[in-house]
Chain A
């Protein structure tokens, strides 16, 4: 059966908990002198990156290599793609080279879905971020980080996030991280609140399994984790908000706001951070900020995803929407 990870919405609660538990097991590897498992020896993982994203690419690369897979990095820049090759022809080329999994980052929403359902390739497709659609492994590593911090035993094995209150702040409209997190965190039982100026909340958000607030101060006091999204300065020129300073005042997380958060609550950021914009240096460098830890957790989580898609349990990851679309 063909299996992919395209959207966080494709994961059931049990799928998600299995991935997090597997990641927890694999994370222990990082503490050993030899960090490598032979699980995916002889399998080929292609990192197909149409968009620059060094941090995501090296995270997937480290994950695949620690499982002993052969890794091929294909970057659009300077490749046949920059000479006008279509996604289809690139995919057919990778298929001919025997890719067992294709990790794809693409500027167009839906490109990974297209790759998985077009019949161009047979391998597993992992969405490493598509346009303003989804970034499911980011959501998984975020959930992993939240679970570790908020569980009494420090791992949370077997548990979901029932009853946890997670606040996601910033440019939700253009954020694939927010979309995937809303799906995954609500699947895991968390109560998600989005906070943004109304211009950066998607039209049609009322169908999402979350609350929406325009007032950060009204929300920070009752949250278990605050996730700050990167806000691109270009948005200002498209009249999404008047000035950078006004944005930072109303929606940025500074020391005063952080002080009003419950004592156990953490501050998260998917990176790269705009210090002084959505987050002050004081907050970014505080020990409540998990940004660096999220990077480490990204490797374990992506190892779990590749392991379960390519070698592991059949039930680990639900079939992608392939099977549903007519």
Chain B
């Protein structure tokens, strides 16, 4: 983090969006030139031959845990993990302690993000006071604050009251906001521990039925259409949810959706181990759901990949299933899982990856300076990926403060070698700068 703003870096032979090899010259905070045979001219030269160059990744759904649960993650450690994973911007979820439901808390998180320097932190504000679903938080004040909040979510809890949801959708139209809904009908999921299906029946764990997600999504796309606002569906996890979003989009309604890397790869069969590292909300679903989600991400029905990075201290996972916390860390493995499930399977090319992991999430969050084309004059928010790399996930090496990854010991492709945030390398040769 010591490089001055006038420093020059030349990426030699990188493949922007997986295309033909190009030299990319970064000067100060911007891309100065993209071409072939560019003159090094005093720049630090990085041999990027064969590596994929992407716009810096943007996460719409990150739990940074600060303030309140600094034992699992802080803004600093979380943004370090983000940089290692190739992210240049993350949206920090509101379910902190205290809840990010006031201008004061979102400004605190925003300021901590500025100080971290590893990636941009855009706070998300709570929809309701204390995430309780009863009373709208001061959405306007959060928007008007230095944090400039545009995305609001009670994530972790569903805004289940139809009137509160309707009012929130209407209210944020005044400043082009969006409500990101955690779709979970609470009565249908009382005591829920895992996906409701064949496996839950055998294991005797309380079921989380697909309809609990789908019924809320159906209601909310109708509400968004009715009031002419935009709604974003967090961590969509079932084939039925895909169908509803596809239908809503076919109507021309302003609906967007995200999928997590883990829902693109893992299924509820893993719960047979009773290992709480697989406990997550929404739960891991079935193989048919995984395939539907991949297809929907490929055809654009699902707009983006969002990590739902959810750090937890070791003791909250080193216990019996019923007592364990829900959630998985994901920032440092997201791009590898997407390469494995979407690129290596032929479902998505690298232009598609850039679209789903940078361009579209930036557009939904209304971020400027991220998700931009890799051309001269653009901000140098860039991620360089060695897609030929194969490695076994070892959580001991994580930059995150938490280790609750479901991929420990699993071989995954791809490794981020460099991440640039406005021209400064936050990751150098796969290590934090």
Chain A residues at the B interface, C-beta cutoff of 8 Å: 86-88, 106-111, 113-114, 117-118, 130-134, 176, 179, 202-208, 321, 325-326
Contact = CB atoms under 8 A, between A and B. Distances in A.
Interface in B176-205: 193, 196-205
B207 interface: yes
Contacts of A134: 204
B319 A87 contact: yes
26 contacts: A87-B320, A87-B323, A88-B318, A106-B320, A108-B320, A108-B322, A108-B323, A109-B193, A109-B274, A110-B204, A110-B274, A110-B320, A110-B321, A114-B274, A114-B321, A117-B273, A118-B318, A131-B322, A133-B203, A134-B204, A202-B207, A204-B197, A204-B202, A205-B201, A321-B272, A325-B273
Nearest to B209: A203
A130 B196 CA distance: 19
Nearest to B196: A203
Contacts of B200: 202-204
Contacts of A321: 272
B315 interface: yes
Contacts of B320: 87, 106, 108, 110-111, 114
Contact of A88 (B197, B209, B319, B321): B319
Interface string B193-228: 100111111111111010000000000000000000
A133 B205 CA distance: 7
A229 to B, nearest CB: 14
A87 B204 CA distance: 19
B207 A109 contact: no
A109 B196 contact: no
Contacts of A130: 204
Interface of B: 193, 196-207, 209, 272-275, 315, 318-323
Given A88-B318, A325-B272, A325-B273, A203 B323 contact: no
A265 B272 CA distance: 36
A204 B196 contact: yes
Nearest to B322: A108
A197 B258 CA distance: 38
A137 to B, nearest CB: 16
Contacts of B319: 86-88, 114
A88 B276 CA distance: 13
Q: Which of B205, B320, B323 has the most CB of A within 10 A?
A: B320
Nearest to B190: A238
Contacts of B202: 179, 204, 207-208
B204 A132 contact: yes
Contact of A202 (B201, B274, B275, B315): B201
Contacts of A204: 196-202, 207
B199 A113 contact: no
B149 to A, nearest CB: 37
Contact of B204 (A118, A133, A203): A133
Contact of A131 (B196, B201, B204, B315): B204
